[in-house]
Structure 1
Amino acid sequence: MNGNDSPTMQEVATHFYEEAAELMKIDQGVRDQLYVPQRILDVHFPVKMDDGSVKMFSGFRVHHNTVRGPAKGGLRYYPNLTLEQASGLAMLMTWKTAVVNLPFGGAKGGVLCDPKTLSKGELERLTRRFTTEIILLIGPERDIPAPDLGTDEQVMAWIMDTYSMVKGYSVPAVVTGKPPVIGGSAGRRRAPGRGVVFVLREFADRIGLDLRGARVVVHGFGKVGVTAAYMLEHVLGSTVIAVCDRSGAIYNPNGFDIRDLYNYKEETGTVVGYPHGEPISHADMLALECDVLVPASVENIITADNVETIRARVIVEAANAPITPAADAILREKGVHVIPDILANSGGVIVSYFEWVQDLQSFFWTDEQVTQQLRKILVRAFDQVYTLAQEHNVPLRVAAYMLALSRVATAYKLRGFYP
């Protein structure tokens, strides 16, 4: 680990994998395979800019493992994206799809760029050219990308169209997270946040935590954080006392009207300045006494440097790897319950699976059907993880990794090694 407890995504994914693999005594040959990506495609390509100049961009696509099915994972447009980061996220996707028992493996990738500095035309040309560069790997039976940081429904639509033009016919199942009018699934946008709440509710029932009136802190007020906060307030009756975005944090001990706060952010671009909340630092926000803390922003939010200030009873990881391994060990000692990312934030990939299935069948579901099936899969997965945790007297994170690893290892055992 790095000395300042800022581990890379690869280090985080490997740490928890090793812990579970050691407990399960996974065959060393299988363990060695899962340490490294199955394949990496590194590409460099030109894009014509609006002023007529040509600029070179770099990107890559990483397949961590495909023993259980096609690779699945997001594409990031991010200036600081690294291959190590993408490899770690691809590994997390392998565990995430396995723990909820989807027939996928893990992938990740993207382009080193800041989409905010590109015009819509430049962004489209970059996306279409990048698609042609990685077309060697992607496809409904091979690798199905999805949106991630810096990408959205429109980017997925351009990828789908470019792939379809090359194939000569429409192939909506090549990506997920598309606009519904061209094959996207109902309920996809809200799925990650909904999934967080479904899993939290199951866990709260197990430990006797009444979520009605529970004090909740949501770190990150993006798509996932907004949906989770709204459901916690309006569906479960919780009190969301603090939220934040990149610009700052706000606090109201009596709770926020999440719908009104969301409308304010849509108008201003930030939660900062909201008239019904007082400013608070990000550090003080994390240290608030609360029943539930929802890290819904980025990785490495809770580290060895600030973990002693955490006063939450339950932490549900709505983001990928928001807690470092060092901090996780301290939280275990403190008796803080952590619902791990590979289970808690799997709602997005579950509904991506639904979208893929609907596209292949050309038969689409309603939002109610999607939500019902999402909850069914998450409740089943949580029950399996919780039971395993009780049987082996281990934290939920370890149990989730054990369940995921067992499924991947079993697939290897049954398929064997070619040739």
Structure 2
Amino acid sequence: MVAYQPLSFLQSQPCGPWEVYLEQIDRVTPHLGHLARWIDTLKHPKRILIVDVPIERDDGSIAHFEGYRVQHNTSRGPGKGGVRFHQDVTLSEVMALSAWMTVKNAAVNVPYGGAKGGIRVDPKQLSMAELQRMTRRYTSEIQIIIGPMKDIPAPDVNTNEQIMAWMMDTYSVNEGSTTTGVVTGKPVSLGGSLGRQEATGRGVFVVGCEVAALRGLDVAGMRVAIQGFGNVGGVAARLFAQSGALVVAIQDHEAAIVNEGGIDVNALLGHARSSGSVAGFAGATRLDNRDEFWEIDCDMLIPAALEQQITAANAGKIKASIVLEGANGPTTPAADDILAERGILVVPDVIANAGGVTVSYFEWVQDFSSFFWTEDEINQRLTRIMKEALAAVWQLAADRKVSLRTAAFIVGCTRVLQAREMRGLYP
């Protein structure tokens, strides 16, 4: 019998995102009882597609980009997960993101499996025409494995409702009929859902408020620091500020800024929209050393950028009492251990940032029924699901005396493996 080996081109990344995920699975395995028999199911992505994405540039030259779509597990339903365009996208990253989506969807009890996609490209180097050509070619290349009952892409890093509109149109043209349910995060005019654009950040806010209350903190006056000021961090910052919290520090791809008296988030959002960054904002002081961001004195730290941001190198410097994961996989296992030893509560990504996929589920349901809900109805349903999911994980963590991450993985992995066991293996 030959043991499972990682793909050869992952072996040079011993600390990559996929390896972080595998360690998280190993940590939860002892808590799964008889279902541990099926644990390797979670270590084997169901399907990996690597595609070449050639386009003609505006100057007539030909450029090739590498694209991925990974379906990690579909035991509980069709694959679901975003598509990111980023120059540092790797297969290890996309595999890990798809696996975290499997656990996340199960943890909040949304009837999806986990999937993820990406293209290794810096979209800022492309014109809008080039971006459209690349998106459409990528969609056409992965069309053999996506579909409203197979795998439903959504926006992620550097993708948005326009990208989803191009993906939906490309799929629909190739199918010969308009198929709105093939992607979520679309414009409302094309079957998108009200509330979807803010859903991930709103979910982070809802969970953050619940955790603060459970820890005896009043959101009004609470000091918050946020890494990332995009669709997740920006929305969360605005909602926390509206609730009376002091957003004292923000870090994005260019700069880290601080204002001990609280940053004017609305003004900063306007500045970031016009300039593309928080850098140069007059209402805060720029930190000379970006790494000093992790040492900001605050009650709640929200990493809402990319994975593997909190590591063994900076976990000992964090002064927050709560780390609320707005990004996917921002904390390494080694950092998890350091934070736990220091009494810092980590609220894991698979619960904290599940608002986006939850409202994506609402959008998918609305597309199938051709009946659309109001934004208030969307937000009420989102809040209920997020609160119920957190409550279940919080109670399990207390009962089993484990971390919130382990508890969330117990809930999610149990649901996935129960489905796998009941379905059995096709001979």
TM-score (norm 1): 0.96
Are positions 1:258 and 2:258 aligned together?
A: no
Q: Report the equivalent of 2:42.
A: 34
Q: What value does the CA root-mean-square deviation take over the aligned residues?
A: 1.6
Match of 2:222, as an amino acid?
A
| 2:246 equivalent in structure 1 | 239
Residues in 2 aligned to 1:327 and 1:417: alpha-carbon distance in whole angstroms: 37
Q: CA separation in 1, counterparts of 2:138 and 2:292?
A: 42
Aligned pair count reads 415
Look up the match of 2:115.
107
Asked if 1 retains the 8 angstrom alpha-carbon contact of 2:48 and 2:70, the reply is yes
Q: Which residue does 2:155 correspond to in 1?
A: 147
Partner SS for 2:298: strand
Equivalents in 2 of 1:291, 1:347: separation in Å?
Answer: 22
Per the alignment, residue 388 of structure 1 pairs with 396
Q: Distance in 1 between matches of 2:36 and 2:382?
A: 35
1:245-284 to 2 correspondence within 5 Å?
245-280=252-287, 281-284=289-292
Whichever residue aligns with residue 247 of structure 2, its letter is: V
Secondary structure, in 3 states, of the residue corresponding to 2:351? helix
Whole-angstrom distance in 1 between the partners of 2:54 and 2:298: 50
Q: Give SS of 1:64's match.
A: strand
Deviation at 1:26, TM superposition (A): 4.9
Name the SS of the counterpart of 2:66 in structure 1: strand
DSSP-derived class of the 2:266 partner: helix
Partners of 2:97 and 2:328 lie apart in 1 by 8
3-state SS, counterpart of residue 312 of structure 1: coil
SS of equivalent to 1:311: coil
Which residue is 2:335 aligned to?
Answer: 327
Paired with 2:280 and 2:63, the residues of 1 have a C-alpha distance of 39
Q: Whole-Å Cα distance in 2 between the matches of residues 155 and 82 of structure 1?
A: 20
CA distance in 2, matches of 1:146, 1:108: 9
1:184/1:310 Cα in 2 relative to 1: closer, same or farther (>3 Å)?
same
Structure 2 residue corresponding to 1:353, chosen from 361, 366, 380: 361
Q: Is the 8 A contact 1:216 1:239 kept in 2?
A: yes
Letter of the structure 1 residue corresponding to residue 250 of structure 2: V
Partner amino acid for 1:351? V
Q: 1:72 aligns with which of 70, 80, 87?
A: 80
Change (3 A) 1:52 1:283: closer
Mean Cα deviation higher: 20-29 or 176-185? 20-29
Pairing 1:287–2:295 present: yes
Distance 2:363 2:312 in 1: 39
Give aligned-pair identity as a percent: 46
Q: How many Å apart are 1:6 and its aligned residue? A: 8.7
Q: 5 Å matches for 1:48-63?
A: 48-63=56-71
Distance 1:188 1:349 in 2: 9
Residue type matched to 1:278 in 2?
T
| Residue equivalent to 1:192 | 200
Mapped contact 1:7–1:300 kept (Cα < 8 A): no
Q: 1:413 offset after TM fit, Å?
A: 1.7
Could you say what secondary structure the match of 1:400 adopts? helix
Which sections of structure 1, spanning at least 5 residues, go unmatched? none
Instruction: Give 1:375 shift.
Output: 0.3
For 2:176, the equivalent position in structure 1 comes to: 168
Q: Does 1:11 align with 2:26?
A: no
| 1:45 positional shift | 3.9
Note the alpha carbon deviations across 1:381-417, whole angstroms, 9 max, x for none. 0111011001101111110000001101111121111
Counterpart residue identity of residue 94, structure 1: T
Deviations 1:154-187 (A, max 9, x none): 1111110111111111100000111111011111
Measured in 2, the distance between the counterparts of 1:186 and 1:23 equals 39
Q: Give unmatched runs, 5+ long, in structure 2.
A: 1-9
8 Å CA contact 1:6, 1:324 repeated in 2? no
**Which of 397, 418, 426 is equivalent to 1:410?**
418
Q: Distance in 2 between matches of 1:265 and 1:44?
A: 34
Q: Deviations over 1:115-151 (max 9, x none)?
A: 1111211211121121111111000000000111222
Deviations 1:324-371 (A, max 9, x none): 110110111111011001100111111111111111111111111110
- Report runs of 4+ in structure 1 exceeding 4 Å deviation: none
Instruction: For 2:267 and 2:376, locate their aligned partners in 1 and report how far apart those are by CA, in whole Å.
Output: 25
Cα contact 2:30–2:36 (8 A) shared by 1:
no
1:88-119 residue CA offsets vs partner (Å, 9 max, x unmatched): 11100000101000110011112222211112
Q: Which moved more, 1:163-172 or 1:15-24?
A: 15-24
- 8 A contact 2:35–2:414 mirrored in 1: no
Q: Which residue of 2 aligns with 1:182?
A: 190
Residue identity opposite 1:347 in structure 2 = G
For the residue of structure 2 that corresponds to 1:253, the secondary structure is: coil
Residue 80 of structure 1: how far off its partner (Å): 2.3
Question: Does the CA contact (< 8 Å) of 1:319 and 1:345 recur in 2?
Answer: yes
The answer to whether the aligner puts 1:211 opposite 2:216 as a matched pair is no
What's the counterpart of residue 89 of structure 1? 97
Q: Aligned pair in 2 of structure 1 residues 200, 45: CA closer, same or farther (>3 Å)?
A: closer
1-structure distance, mates of 2:275, 2:167: 31
